[in-house]
Structure 1
């Protein structure tokens, strides 16, 4: 069935390409109506998100051709409202925003609604927050028009931070009026992110389920996988395992394994050790006999999750056995960090003891000079840099010699080896924190 579907899509795409070429020959490029070209672009874009990635080259060709056609069109061509809508759809479909600016400057007859074009210009120019009010006022008027689905996406993106609930309503409308299209694909993908960030876990899972049913062959499906992994890790405690399995059930085995590996990695980094172990185990089960890399990665992430457990020694042995040449640079860094943590956990400090000299003789009282006896290197350096401690005992810090002597006696009872172990451990953890800082999925 998959082969037949791809064959039909490819055949239909070739037919669309030939139709564009025939139209272009029958009518010169100067005579071809922009709305006809936009229809071909929409068909090709929808074909791409349904799985025919070979159509992406045709999409680029059509965007370039439409851009040229709009720039050279006579103003009278926009007497037809369909061509006005075509220009607006082109601008909201990844077209050149400068072309819309050119058309607006040439629009002496007032074919373009200035309220709408001003809002779009602000949005396309990166000033989406300035267009929020205008789009909110305009959208009800245009929601059932040819530009309605695209305008819904733009409106949602403009309010996505300020009003997530309103943004979701825009995305829902876009999906409702343009099912099976690139508009629905984009709306679903962004809805997953938006609902997840807002804490609406059930809604986000519903959107993820719909996306998995309809658009797993989209070139943007990798973004969906990242969003789904983040959703599962961030809200694992609120999710049911069967809900996660249901979404993954629409994927083939390699895709499922990839998602589980991403999930195990992010969960291990985030400290969600139970999820990391479960996801790594699933990835191992789904790895074939001849596929060594997925198993290696699953072992690494499982080992990361096991470091904080009581069986840290076994986890360290498993991590050390993982070959570096099968890991990416980031995963080699994770392996090094995990080994460093495990080594610090397993290292046994020497037992603290009181030196004989301290037991036999009392520590002398500090006089004019604040004695450095019994202080470790860090404290000595700190005392040296403190102007109050270095002025010959004339400051309030040196006014209580008895208390200072007691503190020195306490310090003198610490084995330098133990103190070195603590300092080294802190240094290692600081290095690991720096290493993992900024790590993503």
Structure 2
């Protein structure tokens, strides 16, 4: 028989579990005869400890699930006359327990201790047929509010409703987190509510969920998923939110997590074409990297320079990009840097002269003047003013583009297609 080694800090909890006294006098006072509801309390304590940051509790969680499973299977049907034990069995099944155990208990329930509606809904949900019972399960949520199983039913109802009705799912998640604050149920409900906001929900409300999560569950083993969601929310919904929502939310994290979040945000924003957000996030990450070795600050410098390619600082951006050593960048960032280098070189490439089209001699393929004067349609020359910089000059009308001009366009488009292919291949495009 395989033996499970537990962290020392959980030995005391295991000892406490083994000394609990059963509620029925017909049972001996031994670990094998503890009441299921007593054992479940220990499981809940362990699971809540995990999401609050005690990762050493994960092994204890597996031990508790195994122990409760054995206890429920061996328990005589008479102990389920106590509703607390019925609820324990149902919550165990909804907390990562063995679905077959619930099937066994319901099959042995000749006295009708289990609510067959709940049991049947859970059996379908745990077997992957949750959409079939979404309506019926949702109807039971109000009935079971303020009960031991209420928050769990609300969480599951949100899960099975999410695909077809995100707004309704959000209401179920609200019930779950409000009735079980500080628990694994609230952690899951907040994370999934945030996911809804990323896709099509209220972005401002999404940041409120994110701030609650950051205050309570920043050290959860699921916090990396939370970081991905907050980055996606910031990038995808940037035009619909106030910038301070992003900075206020990230400020709730420790310095290392702030830096990592801003780096992820800068990269995703840059790839998504959100240059302003990319620049802001990269600068934040760079400032947070000030006390770190140069290699740790390289990604922030890269992303900030990439965001500056579309600005008058393009030349400086190219210098920074090309000066970053390969060993300071990941393989993904090397691909991104190469793509940006090609684009930047096309931006600053001098025009190709053409005798067939005098009007195009001093104009790039974007219609940007590269000499001190621009030739007008009437054949006169007018000085370039300060307000007609590289991005503001009107594009001259060319009646017959030269072959060289067409070649430049074709070459540029080809390079951009190659860049898109590289980015899609590495899976960076959202």
Pair in the same fold by TM > 0.5: yes
Aligned to 1:287: 289
What is the TM-score normalised by the length of structure 2? 0.80
Q: Do structure 1's residue 439 and structure 2's residue 417 form an aligned pair? A: no
Q: Aligned equivalents of 1:64 and 1:339: distance in 2?
A: 56
Q: Aligned equivalents of 1:216 and 1:154: distance in 2?
A: 23
Q: Aligned equivalents of 2:16 and 2:342: distance in 1?
A: 63
How far apart are residue 11 of structure 1 and its match?
A: 9.9
How far apart are residue 258 of structure 1 and its match?
A: 1.1
Q: Aligned equivalents of 2:19 and 2:330: distance in 1?
A: 49
Q: Aligned equivalents of 1:127 and 1:330: distance in 2?
A: 39
State which of 247, 250, 253 in structure 1 corresponds to 2:252. Answer: 250
State which of 165, 168, 171 in structure 1 corresponds to 2:170. Answer: 168
Check the 8 A contact 1:30/1:73 in 2, yes or no.
Answer: no
Aligned to 1:144: 146
Check the 8 A contact 2:162/2:169 in 1, yes or no.
Answer: yes
State which of 319, 322, 336 in structure 1 corresponds to 2:324. Answer: 322
Check the 8 A contact 2:138/2:154 in 1, yes or no.
Answer: no
Aligned to 1:309: 311
Aligned to 2:62: 60
State which of 120, 123, 126 in structure 2 corresponds to 1:124. Answer: 126
Q: Aligned equivalents of 2:10 and 2:189: distance in 1?
A: 24
Check the 8 A contact 1:257/1:283 in 2, yes or no.
Answer: yes
Q: Do structure 1's residue 50 and structure 2's residue 25 form an aligned pair? A: no
Runs of 4+ off more than 6 Å: none
Q: Aligned equivalents of 1:12 and 1:142: distance in 2?
A: 36
> Map of 1:30-109 to 2, 5 A cutoff?
30-109=32-111
CA offsets, 1:197-256, max 9 Å, x none?
A: 233122112111211222212222222121111111122233223322222222121111
Q: 1:126 is paired with a residue of what secondary structure?
A: coil
Please provide the CA RMSD for this pair. Answer: 2.6
Check the 8 A contact 1:261/1:297 in 2, yes or no.
Answer: yes
> Map of 1:153-302 to 2, 5 A cutoff?
153-302=155-304
How far apart are residue 304 of structure 1 and its match?
A: 1.7
Aligned to 1:423: 410
Q: Aligned equivalents of 1:123 and 1:103: distance in 2?
A: 17
Aligned to 1:406: none
Q: Aligned equivalents of 2:238 and 2:70: distance in 1?
A: 50
Q: Aligned equivalents of 1:197 and 1:354: distance in 2?
A: 52
Check the 8 A contact 2:296/2:328 in 1, yes or no.
Answer: no
State which of 5, 17, 20 in structure 2 corresponds to 1:20. Answer: 17
How far apart are residue 91 of structure 1 and its match?
A: 1.1
Q: 1:30 is paired with a residue of what secondary structure?
A: helix
Mark the CA change 1:221 to 1:230 in structure 2 (over 3 Å): closer, same or farther: same
How far apart are residue 29 of structure 1 and its match?
A: 4.4
Check the 8 A contact 1:263/1:279 in 2, yes or no.
Answer: yes
CA offsets, 1:57-107, max 9 Å, x none?
A: 111111122222223333333222212111110111122223222323333
How far apart are residue 139 of structure 1 and its match?
A: 1.6
Mark the CA change 1:348 to 1:71 in structure 2 (over 3 Å): closer, same or farther: farther
Q: Aligned equivalents of 2:243 and 2:60: distance in 1?
A: 41
How far apart are residue 152 of structure 1 and its match?
A: 0.8
Q: Aligned equivalents of 2:32 and 2:11: distance in 1?
A: 23
Q: Aligned equivalents of 2:295 and 2:75: distance in 1?
A: 55
Aligned to 1:393: none
Check the 8 A contact 1:70/1:87 in 2, yes or no.
Answer: yes
Q: Which moved more, 1:294-303 or 1:25-34?
A: 25-34
Q: 1:141 is paired with a residue of what secondary structure?
A: coil
How far apart are residue 137 of structure 1 and its match?
A: 2.1
How far apart are residue 284 of structure 1 and its match?
A: 0.9
- Unmatched 5+ residue regions in structure 1? 1-9, 356-409
Q: Aligned equivalents of 1:249 and 1:418: distance in 2?
A: 50
How far apart are residue 308 of structure 1 and its match?
A: 2.1
What is the TM-score normalised by the length of structure 1? 0.79
